[in-house]
Structure formats: structure tokens, C-alpha cells
Amino acid sequence: MRFRLAAILTFLAFSACTHSIAAPASIDRVIDEQLREDRVARNPVIIIPGLGGSRLVDYDSGDVVWGTYRGDFADPDTPDGAYLFSLPMREGVPLAKLRDGVVPLGILDRVRFRLFGIPFDAGVYRDFVRVFGMFRDDEDLGRTLAGRRHQPLVVFQFSYDWRRDISENARRLQDFMDEKREALAYEYERRGIGAKDIHFDIIAHSMGSLLTRYYLRYGAAPLPEDGSLPEPTGEGMKHVDAAVLVGPPNAGSLDSFLALTDGYNIASILPSYKAGVIGTLPSGYQLMPRVRHRPVTLPDGTAVDLYDPAVWDRYSWGILAEDQDRYLQWFLPGVTERADRRRIALDHLSKCLARAKQFQAAIDIPIRIPDSLKEKQDRTGFRAILYAGNALPTAARAVVDPATGRVAVTERGPGDGRVLRSSALMDERVGREDFSGGPDAGAGSPIDWTKTIDLASEHMEITSDPAFVDTVFGHLTELRVRRRQAPKH
């Protein structure tokens, strides 16, 4: 039973691990000593969860698409539930125009379900929200600032539809910042708290880190529909002073590819998310590893191009597998022929793979500080802080059987159980024959890390590791002190 309950606390395989361990006493000490500290002027903080970390609800029906396993949740093993959870497929229509009625509704701080009629509450982002998400809305903001003469730490939670193309959510993040900046300015002025130029710090987990990296480079600008790359203007850096990236799959995760090809069973007593369902989600493909790092090969060592739809077609992977046709029938009720359904699925897959390749190329471009921001950079310094797991065996390489198309993991490396440490660091030496992944891994990264911190925690447990909580506030406070001591220009 203990094993099954542990399995229940797991997100989709290409998302994150979860846990239900209560926050230790040292976290309470950190909250008392740092979160409530008034003497240092602080930026407001935005926390951004990873894939699966935002509750999703169908706007029209009110059904829970993701976030519970009881009542009116979208069961992916039923036609209606699978239809709600998946994204639409239409030939010749760009991914950005394939809309449905699903909306995000807050960070997922717990999953509720019933086991043999007994209700259970399983912590997901519970500790993350408890520590960092103390002030959830503008009403809480007013109460937080009441009677304060200085800026206390204000934390906002940004939820988003993690099924969609990651870059689409950059516009929502910009709108969210504009809304919260306006609310803060109003409250600061009303209470006599001096804050003329409001910037944010971001603490992002997993997929949220990739969204953050895209936003820092391009702001709200979308990926061009013609497949080209946008100009990296550093627009988001005008609004963000520090980005804390926690367990980021910067170079992708092999587990995400395996989930897309084989689907994922959370637990035998809960619904499973089959490849035909999750294969409709563009974001999953954007979490796959880079081909240049050689994560998947043939037996002779030839690298397999995971972004070539012809390869998926040849091996009938994922949404193209014959046993996934029943899901295509649910999604495409008016298409009676199997060959036509498969053609539509291949068209959708091709768009997802092309978008994933474009997105990855966009965030792999080394960030360049615009001239307009160099003065700020010289005074306070933009900070990119990484927290990565390094103690758990994590899938690193796999081999494809060319006769059957089956994929088998052949090598594991240090990571957090979902994301390799080398992926979090975006170490470009991965894939070289002489690469060992030793303690200096990360030296080849195009990301200019200010600090990198290794923790012996699982993917989700990093966010409630006392060492993470204790040091992350120290890093943010250090930036506040530097800003306060910087000469005025």
C-alpha cells in the first residue's frame, strides 16, 4: 500500500515528482526570520509552477480538467474526460489557433481523490505554496501591507495552461505582471511606502523555468508562425531582476519523450494518461532532450532525430500507435476511416515537433544584455540562480530497436530522478565521447549562471528542501542589499 500511495503522488512522467511530507520546523524558522523581515526593501516575487502544477477547469461546464481525482474530474479513460484533457487537432490550423474552453485556476497545492471510498488529500505544490505563496491575491496584498512603512516580501502565484505551447504563456505572464504592478503601486502609494520603479523576482520550477527563460529573452513576443526565431531583445529583463530556476529541464528530459511514446500510468488504482491523450499537448514535446546531445540512438550509435515526424511515423510512436486509435475516434468523431484519423494525428504531431524545435532553438540562444539595461546590470546585476538535483539516477540515454521501434533506457546519470544535472545546467558538452559529467559539469553552458546549487532531492522535493528555502531568500536579500547600496544615477 505504501508503494501505491507513493505512486499516486507522482505527476505525469514528463512533469515532476510529488510528496506529502510536512514542511520541517526549519522552514517555519526561515519564514519567521526572512519572509517577515521589514528592514530590507524587497522586490515582489512571482512563483511559477511546472507542468501539471496549475489547476485546469473547463470554463463552460466547470469540470475539473486537472487537479482532482474525484467528483467531476476529467477521467482520461472516458471519451468526455479525454476530450477535455487533450487539445484540439485540425489539419492546416496553427497550434496557437487551436483553442478550447480550458482555463487555469490557481497553483495546484494538493490533489484530492478517493481510494476505496476513503477521501485522501495528497500534497503536490503544498509546501511550495506554503512557503512562497503566502499572499495569493490583491485582497491579501492589502492586508499584508496594512500598517507597514517598508516593503515586506509579497509573493504572487502565476498559474497557466501548461498543456499549450510554452511560449504562448509569455503574454499571460506579462499581463499578470502589469496587473500586479498596478495593484502594488496603488497599495504602496496609499500606505506611503516608497516604491517608484517596481521590478519582480521569479522563482520557477521545472517547465516554469523554461517559460521564464523565454520571457526574459523575448518578453510577450510570440514565436513567429513562419518557423523563424524572434530577435532576443531581453525585453523581460526590463521587469525582472532575478530568476531562480528550480530543477529546470533546460536541455530537456528523456522521461518526457518516453511518456509521449508510451503514455504514463500514475498508479494502478488511478486513471492512466495514454500516449494518444498526452500526445496532443505541444508542451510535452518542448520538454524532450536535444538531438545534438545524443539521448536516443540506434544500436550502432546513430543518433535518432526525435523531431522528425517521419521517425515517429516509421516506428508508430505515441499518438500514431495503432492501439491509440480509440482516442483518435473520441477526438475526431466525424472521421470514420482509420487512415484519415492517422493523417490528422500526424499533421498535429508534425506541428508540435516543429514548434518544439523552434522553441528550443529560441531559448538556446545565449541571452544578451541590451545596451538600455547595461547601466542597471552594472549597478545591481541580473541574477540567474540554479537549483539542481544531483543524487538520483536519472534516465540519460536510450536505444531504439529498429525492428520494433521499442525504446529502452540504457544509461542513467546524476539528477533529480526526472531531470539530469547536466540538463539543468544546459551543459553543451553532453553527447561528446569524452564527457564524464563530473563536478565541473556546466562549464560548457550558454547560460550565464550567477550561482548554481546542488541538492540531494527529488524533482519536486527541491522546492521544500530546507537548504533551498534557507538559501533562496538569502540570494534575494543579497540582491536587495546590493540595490540599496548601489549609487544613484
> Residue 414 sits in a domain of what CATH number?
3.40.50.1820
Give this prediction's pTM: 0.85
Give the model's pLDDT for residue 366.
Answer: 76
Give, as one character, the DSSP assignment of residue 149: S
CA distance 198 to 215: 17
Residue 175: inside a domain, yes or no?
Answer: yes
pLDDT band at 108 (very low <50, low <70, confident <90, very high): confident
Q: Can you tell me which residue has the cell 526526472?
A: 418
Query: Which of 240, 89, 108 is CA-nearest to residue 170?
Result: 240
Residue 147: inside a domain, yes or no?
Answer: yes
Other Cβ atoms less than 10 A from the Cβ of 250: the count is: 27
Residue 342: inside a domain, yes or no?
Answer: no
CA distance 353 to 318: 13
- Amino acid, res. 438: G
CA-to-CA separations, 281 to 157, 316, 356, 359, in angstroms, rounded: 23, 17, 11, 14
Cell numbers standing for residue 237? 529583463
Which residues lie across from 399 on neighbouring strands?
297, 408
pLDDT band at 233 (very low <50, low <70, confident <90, very high): confident
Q: How many separate domains does the chain show? A: 1
Query: Which range marks the domain in which residue 47 is found?
Result: 2-57+102-256+362-485
pLDDT digits (tens, 9 = 90+) for 244-283: 999 999 999 999 999 999 988 766 666 789 999 999 999 9
52 phi, psi to nearest 5 deg: 85, 0
CA-to-CA separations, 458 to 47, 80, 87, 389, 463, in angstroms, rounded: 19, 34, 30, 7, 9
| C-alpha of 413 from chain center | 21
Query: Which of 209, 207, 210, 351 is CA-nearest to residue 282?
Result: 351
Residue 9: inside a domain, yes or no?
Answer: yes
CA distance 229 to 209: 20
Residue 309: inside a domain, yes or no?
Answer: no
pLDDT digits (tens, 9 = 90+) for 390-447: 999 999 999 999 999 999 999 999 999 999 999 999 987 765 544 344 444 445 567 8
Give the model's pLDDT for residue 111.
Answer: 72
| C-alpha of 85 from chain center | 18
Residues in CB range of 140: below 8 A, 6 or more apart: 134
More confident residue, 278 or 145: 278
Cell numbers standing for residue 432? 561528446
| Residue/partner pairs of 235-240 with CB below 8 Å, 24 or more apart | 236/170, 236/174, 237/367, 237/369, 237/370, 237/373, 237/382, 238/372, 238/373, 239/174, 239/177, 239/199, 239/200, 240/199, 240/200, 240/201, 240/202, 240/212, 240/215, 240/216, 240/382
CA distance 286 to 396: 17
Which residues lie across from 412 on neighbouring strands?
395
Percent of the chain exceeding pLDDT 90 equals: 51
Residue 231: inside a domain, yes or no?
Answer: yes
Residue 419: inside a domain, yes or no?
Answer: yes
Q: What share of the chain is helix, strand, coil (3-state, %, to 5)?
A: 40, 20, 45
Give the model's pLDDT for residue 16.
Answer: 37
Give the model's pLDDT for residue 15.
Answer: 37
Q: Is 227 helix (H, G, I), strand (E, B) or coil?
A: coil
Mean pLDDT of the chain: 80
Residue 286: inside a domain, yes or no?
Answer: no
